[in-house]
Structure 1
Amino acid sequence: MSTRDAIVEAADKLFYENGFDHTSFAHVAEAVGISRGNFYHHFKSKDEILEAVIDRRVSDRLAMLEQWDGVGETPQARLECFVRLLSTNREKIRRHGCPLGTLSSELAKLDHPLGPEAKRLFDLFRSWIRRQIEAFGRIEDADLLALQLLSMSQGATTLANVYPDEAILDLEIQRMLDWIADLTPKPTPQADQKEQS
């Protein structure tokens, strides 16, 4: 791994765990084990690091969505991958919240010029979820439903961060899985008869 990549990886972790505003050049340099002079060779400002972190998160999430597209045979199965990610990351979420939501919220509070760049992460998931819902035949309200699922997932991560009760997150995950199942088109009796004949 290059020094630049190591800086971005360390900054990504620190921004998530401690917040962007509370992470300094010195914190990142110490985490990577380099001098400040070497650090400035790669990044001149914290905003440059933030931009690189956002780009990294977008790239990582794109790869994850492509993987879900490959393993999920149906739109329902692919959407379930999105929801089950909350369970996979439950410990991190319990400690630090959602990496997407916390960064976007912090940058909004700071009125940071890179706030719209962080929004790209939500746009990426929104667009991907919308495509899955459109595959159900829900064209007209697909975007609204995508926003609804995003909203439910963000609410679940907030609750998991506020309340240490594991059952709360499990309940919210199941609620989202049921919501997805309700969206899934059910076979009509005519279709069942055709399959049997």
Structure 2
Amino acid sequence: MPTRTMDKRDRLIHAAVRVVHEQGFGRTTLADIAATADVPLGNVYYYFKTKDALGAALVAEHAAHQEALQARWDEDPDPRARLKAFVRMTDGNRESLANFGCPIGTLCAELAKAGGPVADQASAIFTGLLAWLEVQFQALGCGADSRGLAIHLLSALQGVSLLAHSLNDPAYVTREAERLVAWLETLGAGEESRDR
């Protein structure tokens, strides 16, 4: 019985990830999620008493997914390759980004407007990603500039995601990803940042 319970909860969370990405958190109703997950609406209320509870589960799902990606990238011993994998993952999602924007970026922006604990939990995803990026730049020998380079890389990818979505053109993501990969090639042991 616990497996069935977890399966239904997981189905609801995965449905919420998809629907919220496509519609936004504010516009998504619990009924939308129930319909997408193909479960009765009452089941949503059983697992998530409030929309904030659903928001917290959604943020936790995104955070776990991001951590799993970072763990997979960390299997590569080369920090430059890890950074390129992050950039290429973004490019690999270019169609979705053009259609709906970045799932984490748009969710964080929307939740930040409302404030509160769920917004704080969501912002921790970016905090963790920035810390991971900084570690990669430190491993490349970028020293004190590593934090700034991490911010630069994440800002570039978030910015191009917004631009691609606003203009509904995934080619913007590909062009920026190519520029970022070329820029990453210019960084090396003992070198400070170079402008792209």
Give the structure-2-normalised TM-score. Answer: 0.88
Query: For 1:72-83, what aligned pairs fall within 5 Å after superposition?
Result: 72-83=76-87
Mapped pair 1:142 → 2:146: yes
- In structure 1, the residue matched to 2:162 is 158
Contact 1:54 1:117 in 2 (8 A): yes
1:89 to 85, 88, 93: 93
Mapped pair 1:180 → 2:184: yes
- Measured against aligned partners, the alpha-carbon deviations of 1:8-58 in whole angstroms (never above 9, x if no partner) come to 111111111100000011111111222222222111001101101111111
- Measured against aligned partners, the alpha-carbon deviations of 1:63-95 in whole angstroms (never above 9, x if no partner) come to 11111111x331111100000012210110010
Give the structure-1-normalised TM-score. Answer: 0.88
Gaps of 5+ in 2: 1-5, 192-196
- Measured against aligned partners, the alpha-carbon deviations of 1:87-124 in whole angstroms (never above 9, x if no partner) come to 21011001001111101111122335421111111112
Sequence identity, in percent? 35
Contact 1:8 1:52 in 2 (8 A): yes
Highest CA radius of gyration, 1 or 2?
Answer: 1
Structure 1 distance, partners of 2:171, 2:128, is: 29
- Residue 139 of structure 1, CA deviation: 2.5
- In structure 2, the residue matched to 1:41 is 46
Task: Please provide the CA RMSD for this pair.
Answer: 1.8
Contact 1:156 1:173 in 2 (8 A): no
- In structure 2, the residue matched to 1:14 is 19
Mapped pair 1:4 → 2:9: yes
Contact 1:83 1:173 in 2 (8 A): yes
